[in-house]
Structures are given as C-alpha cells and as structure tokens.
Amino acid sequence: MALLETAIVASDWLKFEEDAYASRDTAIIATGSGKLVSGTVLAKVTASGKYVPAAATGSDGSQTAAAILAFAVDATSADAKAVVISRRATVSHAGLTYGASINDATKRAAANGQLAAAGIIVRQGA
C-alpha cells in the first residue's frame, strides 16, 4: 500500500487572522520560484513588487520576510497569482516553510523577527 502524500493547508499553521480576511492580500509569485506549499515564508522583491521565497541574504528585498503564502501555487514557469497573509496574524512555526538559504535556527529567528515587524507573530508550538 502506498502512503498518501499529505498536503500542507493553512489551518496547519494559521492560528489567527483578522475578521473579513483583513490579514490577506493578493500577490504575484515570481516565475522561477517553483512549486510552493501553503506556509511558505515570502519576501517582496523591491523592483518588481513580486514575491519570492525569503532568502537569508540579498539586497533586492528578497532578504526580508514580509508575508506567508496561504495556498499552494506553481510558479515554476510563469508568474502565479496567490493569496498571502501579510499583517495582523498569528501563526505556528511548525507549519512554516522557509527558503533554502534560511537553514538554521538563527536565520529562522531573523525571518520570524521580520514577520513580526509586518504584524505576523510566529509562535513556537502548535
């Protein structure tokens, strides 16, 4: 018997958002970002205004975590429309996915601090 792949959904990590979806925005995920799952921590590229998975370093905006992807998208070969959580929310760290270069506790803490500056509180635990 094959194991079923379990998809990550927003309820895995999104614990509070404002009424009437006030915590959400629509966004464009930049082509080349790949297949992204719900809970991916995103940064906004300054020049284009498009979102990419947040990186540990950079100088184009990609180094500053600013939002979290609400629903999975595929931006492998074309820009993808998306819904992001961009403010006034509480999330669980356990369901978040960070960019490949955010690969240790110090870098995750820095990204979580950037999210806090945007009004997204990352809580440890469920």
d(CA 54, CA 52): 6
pLDDT-derived band at 1, boundaries 50, 70, 90: very low
Give the pLDDT score at 58: 95
Give the pLDDT score at 5: 56
Domain ranges of the chain: 13-123
Q: What is the pTM of this model?
A: 0.93
Report residue 58 CA to chain centroid gap: 17
Q: Which residue did the predictor score with more confidence, 8 or 46? A: 46
Per the CB < 8 A criterion, the answer to whether 28 and 81 are in contact is yes
Q: Which CATH number fits domain 13-123: 2.40.300.10, 3.40.50.150, 3.90.1650.10, 1.10.1200.10?
A: 2.40.300.10
Taking only the tens place, the pLDDT of each residue in 82-116 is 999 999 999 999 999 999 999 999 999 999 999 99
Q: Which residues of 21-51 are buried (b: 16+ CB within 10 A; e: fewer)?
A: eebbeebbbbeebeebbbbbbbbbeeeeebb
